[in-house]
Amino acid sequence: MKIITITPHGKYDCVTAMIIEGLYDLDIKIIASDGGNNVRNQDVHSDEGVLRHAADADYIFAFFGKVSGNRPPKHYLLDKINRPEITAYVDGSEWTSTSHPENWIPSRPETQIRVDSPYDPPGKTIPVQALEAKKDPRKCKGQPWLNHEMKSRCRWYFKRECYPEDLSEGIIPLNVGCANKFFANRSEEKIIDVLCSFGHFYTGLRYEVSQACLDLKKEGYNVEIVKGISYDEYIKKMSQSYISVSAWGAGNSCMRMWETMANKTCCFAQRTEILFPNKPLDGYHYVEYSTYKEFCDKIRLYLQHKQLCVEIGKRGHQFTLNNHTGKARVQYMLNVMKSGLEKTLLK
């Protein structure tokens, strides 16, 4: 099988990198427009090379790419190729179809919305949409939500942040998943009760659950709240933990959930509003919470049953390995493209 990939230029995109990794794991030949995002140098081709290979390609994957400071992906090649019947758009955007929040910080300092917490620098400014979404999850969907230009060019439109109502627009769920590097295959002794590690605290319930973790620490639990450590140390601490905490990041997605499950640790994840294939089962593969109170109640309950946390961590690891790698995501995409969404395991 040969697939043309129109990839972002000079900018990492987690969904693109995961799908490219999955294509290689399935031994699918890649003809790429740009390097980066796991594309091998020898697979990058000129515009002329891409057009030549497109004549007999099985599929074309056009990827979303953030353009701030970078040239846009070469989506103009789609018009030259002119094979929309085999083309899929992979939209990895978050707050809007551009990935930029609908409402950013106003220019006048006196109107800026701020968040002050023990974890963030005093007076740190945040996207207005992020604050709105904390109070009303419907605000996660900013405008423009869909890239209608790309939708008109492609037969299939896969989207990272796909809500139930988006299905009627023909949008197909494609959540983020696990990079191969997440599976560190560590066999660390569990010595940490709870690990809390967020890069920022202004989306979802990150600030609230971090406060709850501080309370647990005061109660005598071995809680580690870390930030700014190396990735290897981060994964090591995660593997040593009975529970690792995740909450919404950009939109409803958070890579931390998949990192935790990949490393055989019980993940406490904020319940999502978005759809994605083969969703883990609450209380079996991971633990869900929707409110601060639910988080507090559940984490205290599970900390009284640490062996259950170990068992959930092991089941979550195997479930993730089977269903949420880049390889599994590509297989899911190909199944949808060949058989239709109604034939796939969407839960």
Crossing angle, helix 326-339 and helix 14-25, to 10 degrees? Answer: 80
Q: How far apart are CA 55 and CA 293, in angstroms?
A: 57
CATH of 2-98+142-176+326-343, one of 1.20.1070, 3.30.450, 1.10.10, 3.40.50: 3.40.50
Write out the two tokens for 142.
């900013």
Res 10: pLDDT: 80
| Domain residue spans of the chain | 2-98+142-176+326-343, 180-323
- The mean pLDDT value for 184-190 works out to 83
Please say if the pLDDT value at position 324 is more than 50.
yes
Q: Are 224 and 234 in contact (CB under 8 A)?
A: no
Average pLDDT over residues 115-136: 71
| Distance separating alpha carbons of residues 50 and 44, to the nearest angstrom | 9
The HSE-up count of residue 216 (CA atoms within 13 Å, CB side) is 28
Q: What is the mean pLDDT of residues 255-281?
A: 94
Residues 257, 293 contacting (CB under 8 angstroms): no
Rounded to whole angstroms, the Cα distance separating 116 from 79 reads: 48
Q: What is the pTM of this model?
A: 0.92
CA-based radius of gyration for the chain: 21
Give the number of residues written for the chain: 347
Split at pLDDT 50, 70, 90, the class of 155 is very high
The pairing of strands 114-115 and 124-125 is antiparallel
Which pLDDT belongs to residue 113? 55
pLDDT of residue 116: 59
The pLDDT value given to residue 344: 56
Please provide the DSSP assignment of 280-317 as one string. Answer: PPBTTTBEEESSHHHHHHHHHHHHT-HHHHHHHHHHHH
Residues with Cβ < 8 Å from 239, sequence gap 6 or more? 184, 186, 187, 188, 263, 264, 265
SS (H, E, C) 184-231: CCCCCCCCEEEEECCCCCCCCCHHHHHHHHHHHHHCCCCEEECCCCCH
The four Cα atoms 255, 134, 102, 324 give a dihedral, to 10 degrees, of: 20
Query: 180-323 is classed in which CATH architecture?
Result: 3-Layer(aba) Sandwich (3.40)
The single residue listed with the structure tokens 């207005």 is 128
3-class DSSP state for residue 114? strand
Share of the chain above pLDDT 70, in %: 91
- Phi, psi angles (nearest 5°) of residue 3: -125, 130
Nearest in space to 63 (alpha carbons), one of 280, 340, 329: 329
Fold match, 2-98+142-176+326-343 / 180-323: yes
Residue 338: burial class (beta carbons within 10 Å; 0-12, 13-18, 19+): exposed
Per residue in 26-49, pLDDT tens? 999 999 999 999 999 999 999 999
Count of CB atoms situated within 10 Å of the CB of 11: 19
Can you tell me the distance from the alpha carbon of 98 to that of 80, in angstroms, rounded to the nearest whole number? 23
